[in-house]
Amino acid sequence: MKNIARRNFLKYTAASIGTASLITATHNINSASAREKNLTARVNNYADMSPDEAISELMNGNKRFVEQKSINPNQSRLRLAEVAEGQAPFACILTCSDSRVAPEIVFDRGLGDLFVVRDAGNIATSGEIGSLEYGVSVLGAKAIVVMGHKNCGAVQAAIKLGSTSGFIASIVNEILPAVEMAKEKDGELIQNTITANILLQKSKVQTSPIISQLVKENKVKIIGAYYDLETGKVDLVS
Ligand SMILES: [Zn+2]
């Protein structure tokens, strides 16, 4: 948010006062950015991470988790104090609220590492997409992972209930197109719907002009992922 305020300030400055003042203002802005960059680097060294490196970091963490070799990084009192000053998570995770799907645990990460957006069925509506926009454009995360999971209750509800009413409809209706897509495929309907839903919600995230611009500039990568509740393993879905 600070960056946006600064940009507006710069615009105002350019329009209303002279070039000398503009140079001074720009210098102040750059100094402030440098200070923030230093803070970010000190906090976690993620500033120069590429999108592919961010994804590798997640997958390596999941490998440790699956092999019961978690190292529980960034969970110390020191880390707590560090990130209290500012956050610069390296990845955003959009996943289900299911109590068995816990991003920091399954990716073996700690405080200030992941910007997590959760709801039943890992659906991407305006609130979730807005949160992800904040994660990548303001906080500087390098990757967005849209992660569904085995035996998802929200997906099962969408298959069972079909079109429904009440608050639950706001969840189920977002998953229904995935049910229809899955019906056209061979194999288990629930499994096919979970996969179709991951790809459907991922495509909705891609409709954000802010996010797609960052993807175009190779600053952010969006991937689909599937979490197996039984093995703890995360697999990429495309
Ligand atoms: Zn679920």
> What pLDDT is recorded for position 34?
52
pTM over 0.85: no
Secondary structure letter of residue 56 according to DSSP: H
Mean pLDDT computed over every residue of the chain: 86
> What pLDDT is recorded for position 45?
67
Distance CA 73, CA 51 (A): 20
CA–centroid distance, residue 123 to ligand 1 (Å): 10
CA–centroid distance, residue 156 to ligand 1 (Å): 9
pLDDT at 19 over 80: no
CA–centroid distance, residue 147 to ligand 1 (Å): 10
CA–centroid distance, residue 196 to ligand 1 (Å): 14
Which is the CATH superfamily of the domain at 45-237?
Answer: Carbonic anhydrase (3.40.1050.10)
CA–centroid distance, residue 78 to ligand 1 (Å): 34
Specify the higher pLDDT residue, 66 or 37.
Answer: 66
Residue 143 belongs to what H/E stretch?
A: strand 143-149
What pLDDT digit, counting tens, does each position of 63-77 carry? 999 999 999 999 999
pLDDT at 113 over 90: yes
CA–centroid distance, residue 150 to ligand 1 (Å): 8
> What pLDDT is recorded for position 165?
83
Distance CA 136, CA 92 (A): 8
Alpha carbon 189 to its chain's center: 27
**pLDDT class for 208, splitting at 50, 70, 90?**
very high
CA–centroid distance, residue 13 to ligand 1 (Å): 49
CA–centroid distance, residue 55 to ligand 1 (Å): 22
Residue 93 belongs to what H/E stretch?
A: strand 91-96
CA distances from 165 to 64, 129, 177, 223 (A): 42, 23, 16, 31
**pLDDT class for 106, splitting at 50, 70, 90?**
very high
**pLDDT class for 35, splitting at 50, 70, 90?**
very low
> What pLDDT is recorded for position 64?
98
CA–centroid distance, residue 96 to ligand 1 (Å): 5
Residues with CB under 5 A from ligand 1 (ion): 96, 98, 152, 154
CA–centroid distance, residue 157 to ligand 1 (Å): 10
pLDDT at 37 over 60: no
Secondary structure letter of residue 113 according to DSSP: T
CA–centroid distance, residue 121 to ligand 1 (Å): 5
pLDDT at 155 over 60: yes
Average pLDDT for 96-106: 98
Which of 57, 49, 153, 119 minimizes the C-alpha distance to 129? Answer: 119
> What pLDDT is recorded for position 28?
46
Three-class SS state of 89:
coil
User: What percent of the chain has pLDDT above 90?
Assistant: 76
